Amino acid sequence: MSTRVILLVEDNPDDELLTRRALERAGVVNTVDVVRDGVEALDYLFREGKLAGRDCSTLPAVVLLDLKLPRLDGHQVLRAIREDERTRFLPVVILTSSSEEEDIVQSYRDGANSYVRKPVRAEEFFEAVRQLGLYWLLLNEAPGDV
Amino acid sequence: MRELIAALAGNAGLLLAMAVLYDALGFRGGRQPPIRRELGNGFLLGTIGVAVMLFSFQLAPGVVFDTRSVVLSLGGLFFGAIPALGAGVITGTFRLAMGGPGTAMGVAVILVSVAIGVAWRYVRRPRLEALSLGELYIFGIVVHLGMLACTVFLPRAIRLTTLMTIVAPVLVIYPIVTALGGWVLRSGHERRLGDQARKRVTEILESMTDGFIALDRDWHVTYVNANGAELFGRKPAELLGKRIWAELPADAVQHFRRHYEEAMREGKPVFFEHYHAPWDRWFENRVFPSPNGLSIFFHEITDSKRAEEAASRLNEAVARQAKELEARVAERTRELEQRTAEAERLNRAMLNLLEDLKAEQRHTREITRRLEISNRELETFAYSVSHDLRAPLRAIDGFSEALAEELGSGLNERQKDSLDRIRAAAQRMGGMIDDLLKLSRATRVEMRRQRVDLSELAHAVLDELREGDPGRPVEIEVPPGLTAEGDPQLLRLVLQNLIGNAWKFTAPRPRARIELGRLEGGIFYVRDNGVGFDMKYADKLFGAFQRLHRQEEFPGTGIGLATVQRIVLRHGGRVWAEAEPGRGATFFFSLGEVGGG
């Protein structure tokens, strides 16, 4: 199992906590770094702004990206990630409340690796996150790992 | 001397008697050619001359006096050169035959008398019928002065004594005799002319087609022509001398009398028309007064009268028709004017209406625009709120679950029930928000119309339902190839709701049955044999959050049919339902294209 971190871009602390718990229950022990909005997310990834001095040298194993975010929203963040050489192949999973057709289509067009709608029902939510963690942390071979 | 005068007077009397005889016998030659008539007259004149010479007075042997000068001069004057010369030749010859010393003078007197008579005729050119006694007397004096002048042809011995003897009686008696003889001839001539004129007039009166009657002042018929008499049914002779009133038709007397008396009284021509009923004929009468009475011309005008009547009838008919036509034209014109006025009024009304309509339209457009704006704002609001609402619900449910998990068996039944209820409520609210999102999307998303296979869609929806509720025996009837024009996503939503409802409300049925079909006119329907509903609540079916069943019986948010209605309306169609409690329900919908699909 990779020891690389998971980057969670989430402005809602409740959702953050629920996601952490879900990952825990699924047995995911990787560090989860959390940023609160799109700007922070990009600063984190590109070591810019107030996170310029971040010591970790590797990219996260996966980015769990909410769409509705303050400042830069999820779509803009995703486009920025895909436009940069360094992060072009970084796995990005959209984790959001929206089930709008447009959001789904837009996300895949912009290069999202997966799109998961956060269900209200706890069991469903935990199950979705568990599967995500399993897939992206245990099974998927990201280009950066080779 | 007395003897001479007596002889001369006797000769003159003879002459006058012969002249009267001549005139009375009327030797005028009748219709003989002019030259023969003139020669005949000359012969007669010569004979008369010879007659008077036979009874001449012998002044001396071979010296005779008679009235041959009178005969020959008057002959020249009244009958012209040829008769006078003819008579001159006869009498001259006779005188020569008598011989004697007076022969030369006798012949000379004959020549002079002829010459003066002829000269008077051709130089003076008198109107013979108008010669006066005075002129005839002067003529006589001239002739006999000429006669006295002829004494120069007598032998000198007797010349003067003879002249002295005859001068007085010749100049006294002969001019008088000439004047009297001339007067007789003049009268004869005058009468002859009158006869000719009368004859011509009679010819005219008889030849004309008009009837003609002359009346004297006592209303006696003095002349009637043949045509006139015929109209009375009589011969002219039978009418002459009769009083006209006795001859006229009894019923017409008054009519005629009025006009005739008027003409007589006023001395003016009177024209009138008369219709004789027994004959059915029209006559025109023209009555001319004269000093002697009346001249009346009349002729039949039945034909022209009939023509006139026909013409006037025709005229009347034409006039009547023209009048009718005029009236009709006037009426039409009036009608037309009324219609025009009406049309104008209507036009004005229409224009006003149009103006109102335009204003209304502008107003409506403005309202629609504002409505669209506020609608969009509302939808956007609903969208974002729905998303934001889901997060707290997720937190409620998630942490409740976490709490239950962590406390595990430490919870008593009551506490566990409370947590379950919290979670159920959160989840139901999540479902409602999801449905609200769908409803708002049904209005919000841009429509893409294309051909959609509803049969295929229905099967996909049914597969989903079977997956979520496996093991239910449901009889499905969906004929293949039911296609429609519309947005595939939205139509899927329609079928999800309608078939989903059918699935839900047939749950209590041991033999559930769901049917999708199409009627005439592009109307689709989804029919089930579920629990149905009472039609008196049908008006609540399509309102958001309106439910006809209790939550414990059939869970639901009450938004599905509202969504269906929105989608159908957006397609330009309509949706309605028929149901009966316990017998099932049928939902019909069209998609705005009659006969299509």
Does the distance separating the beta carbons of B434 and A12 come in below 8 Å? Answer: no
Q: B528 and B506 in contact (C-beta within 8 Å)?
A: yes
Mean pLDDT value of segment B452-468: 92
pLDDT band at A103 (very low <50, low <70, confident <90, very high): confident
Chain A residues inside the 8 Å CB shell of B388? 68
pLDDT of res. B210: 84
- Is residue A55 less than 8 Å (CB to CB) from chain B? no
What percentage of chain A has pLDDT greater than the value 70?
86
Rounded to whole angstroms, how far apart are CA atoms B250 and B540?
A: 112
Q: Which CATH architecture has domain B448-590?
A: 2-Layer Sandwich (3.30)
Token duo for residue B258? 């009025």
Q: A93 and A70 in contact (C-beta within 8 Å)?
A: no
pLDDT of res. B231: 80
Q: Quick one: closest CA in A to B441, which residue? A: A100
Collapse the DSSP code of B208 into the 3-class scheme (helix H, G, I; strand E, B; otherwise coil) and give the result.
Answer: coil
**Interface mutation vs chain B, best among A67, A116, A120, most B CBs within 10 Å:** A120
Number of H helices, E strands in chain A: 5, 5
Collapse the DSSP code of B543 into the 3-class scheme (helix H, G, I; strand E, B; otherwise coil) and give the result.
Answer: coil
Q: B10 and B55 in contact (C-beta within 8 Å)?
A: yes
> What's phi and psi for B547, nearest 5 deg?
-130, 145
- CB nearest B394 (choices: A98, A100, A120): A120
Chain A residues inside the 8 Å CB shell of B391? 12, 14-15, 97
Chain A residues inside the 8 Å CB shell of B445? 101
Question: Given a cut of 70, is residue B86 above it in pLDDT?
Answer: yes
Does the distance separating the beta carbons of B489 and A14 come in below 8 Å? Answer: no
Rounded to whole angstroms, how far apart are CA atoms B185 and B24?
A: 10
- Is residue B492 less than 8 Å (CB to CB) from chain A? no
- Is residue A118 less than 8 Å (CB to CB) from chain B? yes
Question: Given a cut of 70, is residue B25 above it in pLDDT?
Answer: no
Mean pLDDT value of segment A123-135: 84
- CB nearest A18 (choices: B394, B429, B434): B394
CATH topology of domain A6-139: Rossmann fold (3.40.50)
DSSP letter (8 states) at residue B592: S
Mean pLDDT value of segment A9-13: 89
pLDDT band at B62 (very low <50, low <70, confident <90, very high): confident
Mean pLDDT value of segment B452-478: 90
| H or E element, residue B145 | helix B133-149
User: Which of B5-9, B128-132, B317-321, B471-475 is the least confident region?
Assistant: B5-9
pLDDT of res. B576: 92
pLDDT of res. B525: 95
- Is residue A85 less than 8 Å (CB to CB) from chain B? no
A129 CA to chain B: closest CA distance, Å? 13
pLDDT of res. B29: 46
Q: B309 and B282 in contact (C-beta within 8 Å)?
A: no
Domain positions in chain A: 6-139
Does the distance separating the beta carbons of A101 and B430 come in below 8 Å? Answer: no
B361 CA to chain A: closest CA distance, Å? 35
Q: A11 and A65 in contact (C-beta within 8 Å)?
A: no
pLDDT of res. B494: 93
Question: Given a cut of 80, is residue B200 above it in pLDDT?
Answer: yes
Chain A residues inside the 8 Å CB shell of B394? 14-15, 18, 97, 118-120, 122, 125
The 8 Å CB, 24+ separation contacts for B544-550 are: B544/B439, B549/B505
Q: Quick one: closest CA in A to B394, which residue? A: A120
- CB nearest B427 (choices: A14, A18, A121): A121
HEC secondary structure over B327-351: HHHHHHHHHHHHHHHHHHHHHHHHH
Question: Given a cut of 90, is residue B524 above it in pLDDT?
Answer: yes
- Is residue B443 less than 8 Å (CB to CB) from chain A? no
Mean pLDDT value of segment B87-100: 89
Domain B2-203 sits in CATH at: 1.10.1760.20
Rounded to whole angstroms, how far apart are CA atoms A131 and A137?
A: 10
- Give chain B's mean pLDDT: 85
Domain positions in chain B: 2-203, 211-300, 312-408, 448-590
For B72, residues 6+ apart whose C-beta sits below 8 A from its C-beta are B45, B49, B84, B87, B88, B91, B110, B113, B114, B117
Which one has a higher pLDDT value, B301 or B3? B301
pLDDT of res. B111: 92
pLDDT of res. B595: 42
Question: Given a cut of 60, is residue A2 above it in pLDDT?
Answer: no
pLDDT tens digits for B381-429? 777 777 778 888 888 998 998 888 888 888 888 888 888 888 888 888 8
Mean pLDDT value of segment B441-459: 85
Question: Given a cut of 80, is residue B206 above it in pLDDT?
Answer: yes
Question: Kind of pairing, strands B281-290 and B293-300?
Answer: antiparallel
* Residue B384: Cβ within 10 Å count: 11
Chain B residues inside the 8 Å CB shell of A21? 398, 402
- CB nearest B391 (choices: A14, A21, A99): A14
Does the distance separating the beta carbons of B400 and A14 come in below 8 Å? Answer: no
Residue whose tokens read 């984790």: A95
pLDDT of res. B217: 87
A17 CA to chain B: closest CA distance, Å? 9
Q: B401 and A14 in contact (C-beta within 8 Å)?
A: no
Closest alpha carbon to B426 in B398, B384, B387, B468 = B398
- Is residue A116 less than 8 Å (CB to CB) from chain B? no
What percentage of chain A has pLDDT greater than the value 90?
16
Does the distance separating the beta carbons of B397 and A121 come in below 8 Å? Answer: yes
Token duo for residue A4? 């690389």
Using only C-alpha atoms, what is the Rg of chain B? 75
Q: B76 and B114 in contact (C-beta within 8 Å)?
A: yes
Q: What DSSP string runs through A80-104?
A: HHHHSGGGTT--EEEEES---HHHH
Q: Place domain B211-300 in its CATH homologous superfamily.
A: PAS domain (3.30.450.20)
Q: Quick one: closest CA in B to A97, which residue? A: B387
Collapse the DSSP code of B82 into the 3-class scheme (helix H, G, I; strand E, B; otherwise coil) and give the result.
Answer: helix
Question: Given a cut of 50, is residue B597 above it in pLDDT?
Answer: no
Q: Quick one: closest CA in B to A14, which residue? A: B395
- CB nearest B489 (choices: A15, A101, A118): A101
Q: B183 and B177 in contact (C-beta within 8 Å)?
A: no
Question: Given a cut of 60, is residue B594 above it in pLDDT?
Answer: no
DSSP letter (8 states) at residue B584: E
Does the distance separating the beta carbons of B394 and A15 come in below 8 Å? Answer: yes
**Interface mutation vs chain A, best among B380, B386, B387, most A CBs within 10 Å:** B387
Chain A residues inside the 8 Å CB shell of B441? 100-101
| ipTM value > 0.90 | no
Q: Quick one: closest CA in A to B490, which residue? A: A101
Q: Quick one: closest CA in A to B392, which residue? A: A14
pLDDT of res. A49: 65
Q: Quick one: closest CA in B to A102, which residue? A: B445
Beta strands in B387-473 (DSSP E): 450-453
pLDDT tens digits for B525-546? 999 999 988 888 888 888 777 7
